[in-house]
Structure 1
């Protein structure tokens, strides 16, 4: 797999149809928005200026317009971070792409066959976002809903999203990854990566439950099911 570069990503401008011209102010605003990269939490004004090649006053003006649409938010120390409208647009994209049509049946099958809650997470900066979830039929279960954001901690799900992000080489990592009592002393999880076209990480497919039920021994029993589900979902999504 290709190594990641430490150099700032340059904004890629889309090709324009012959005879058509875009609006320069819109181009500048979108260059600010698309300057945010996976893994970013807060980005300083100086860094946005560096990434876009625009002067600070222009970045500030563009940021005001983007703020008015809820796309970015200015934080107290003067930096910026993506705001909730980006998540709504991402959800619209996921719906149009039909990711849920592929993921949901897999989650339903896993929840039935293992008796544990099945979920699908993606990374959102310094947090992980639960996109899809099918609850366990058992009464004792963890209560997380689609749309909830959780920290990028040492849990199995966060580890998968971190290790396989940006196409990083992770061949030495044995998946699915199992953790117990990391985020919550009462919760355990088993997670494996799902890839899309060109090997890009789509998200983490996971099973979770109470530590009293999802023990290390139980995790070993259901590990092949989750691994196979991740491989099948990767193929279905073009990976």
Structure 2
């Protein structure tokens, strides 16, 4: 006779970030699912507190509660881990390209990936000018009509775009009325889109005329980076 699923306790109050992270980081390499007693031993938290914290973690897919009452890491934890591994592998190849682009163009160079209906700034090299973009690595921006978002949307689709836009894409005043950007797709093995390589700056400085001058440099950098990441030329 199968075990009946235990009722889930109600969540009352808001768990502190430190305690939530204490539970999440209690899982170790090789763990499958942990009993509540084992979580209590590893965290030095009382069982009732752990149960409340796990409800918060369940909501975000970071922990799953099995029918027998044990807990294991959820699919969102796996997704975050894969993002970290991807970022770590990309960093050694992408960051030198960004630093070189920023030095040569005098504008901010960045690398974006798509996360759902937003775009995530993964890496960035600042313009030497004091007037520059204030986006930092880890910041999210909308998937709007900016050049960066258009590149991610157009080339991130599994089906090839019906009409290939002229690259690099240039837009001005979309996300911010004072900011312009120039973007190119970066591909990996199998033609899979890895992300968008971009130059951004004040629209008063990164004009369409200036963008035309910088376009060959950005295009060359994106194509070389794609080749390094496994794309076939």
TM-score (norm 1): 0.65
SS at match of 1:184: coil
- For 1:147 and 1:83, the matched residues in 2 are separated by 21
Report if the CA contact (8 A) 1:167-1:199 is conserved. no
TM-score (norm 2): 0.66
SS at match of 1:164: helix
Report if the CA contact (8 A) 1:104-1:132 is conserved. yes
Residues 70 and 89 (structure 1), Cα distance of their counterparts in 2 relative to 1, 3 Å cut: farther
Note if 1:237 corresponds to 2:196. no
Shift of 1:117: 0.2
Shift of 1:68: 2.8
Question: CA offsets per residue over residues 105-141 of structure 1, 9 Å max, x none?
Answer: 0000000000000000000000001000011000000
After superposition, the CA RMSD in angstroms is 2.6
Aligned to 1:71: 61
Aligned to 1:199: 191
- For 2:193 and 2:59, the matched residues in 1 are separated by 29
SS at match of 1:154: coil
Aligned to 2:103: 112
Aligned residue pairs: how many? 169
What aligned pairs does 1:90-169 form with structure 2 within 5 A after superposition?
Answer: 90-96=82-88, 98-169=89-160
Q: Which structure has the larger Rg?
A: 2
Provide structure 2 residue ranges, at least 5 long, that are not aligned to the other structure: 1-31, 34-53, 64-73
Shift of 1:173: 1.0
Note if 1:173 corresponds to 2:165. yes
Aligned to 1:185: 177
Shift of 1:167: 3.5
- For 2:160 and 2:216, the matched residues in 1 are separated by 22
Aligned to 1:217: 209
Report if the CA contact (8 A) 1:127-1:150 is conserved. yes
- For 1:157 and 1:85, the matched residues in 2 are separated by 27
- For 1:133 and 1:183, the matched residues in 2 are separated by 18
